[in-house]
Amino acid sequence: MTWENFVSTYGQAAGPLRLGQWVCADTERPTGRLGPQARNFRATIAVGDCLRTSTAAASGPIAALTAMLHERGIAIETLKFHQMASNGLTATFICGSDGVRTEWAVGLSQDPTQSALRALIACANRLMA
């Protein structure tokens, strides 16, 4: 399989689930002496024609988006997570499960966080197909 075919198969953004704006509301907060603490995230998420803003307090973006999706009735658990940089892009590979099926997906972006979020959305869409 060529890289282009791989990305078109596993990185498909097409599906009922779409991620719009993504914000970490408190990026300036210093790490406490107990290590990283929960941060507040906000996202615009569309499921079909229903567009809504969601919020979550979590240790990182993947945990926050997972919580937001769960709140919308979309169960997904990240089983495997791999990230690598190549040619100015970050590729994130996620294996996720809805408790019944397991799917792999990939997300690409210059920004590592956006790459991971795209991979999680692609994985959720593959699980919903």
33: pLDDT strictly greater than 90: no
Identify the CATH class of 3-27+37-128.
alpha beta
What strand order describes the sheet that includes 39-47? Answer: 17-24, 39-47, 50-58
Q: Which helix (H) or strand (E) holds 65?
A: helix 61-71
DSSP code, position 35: B
Structure confidence at residue 54 (pLDDT): 98
Q: Which helix (H) or strand (E) holds 50?
A: strand 50-58
Count other C-beta atoms under 10 Å from residue 112's C-beta.
Answer: 17
Structure confidence at residue 7 (pLDDT): 86
48/42 Cα distance (integer angstroms)? 19
Where do the structural domains in the chain lie, given as residue ranges?
3-27+37-128
Structure confidence at residue 19 (pLDDT): 97
**Structure pTM?**
0.91
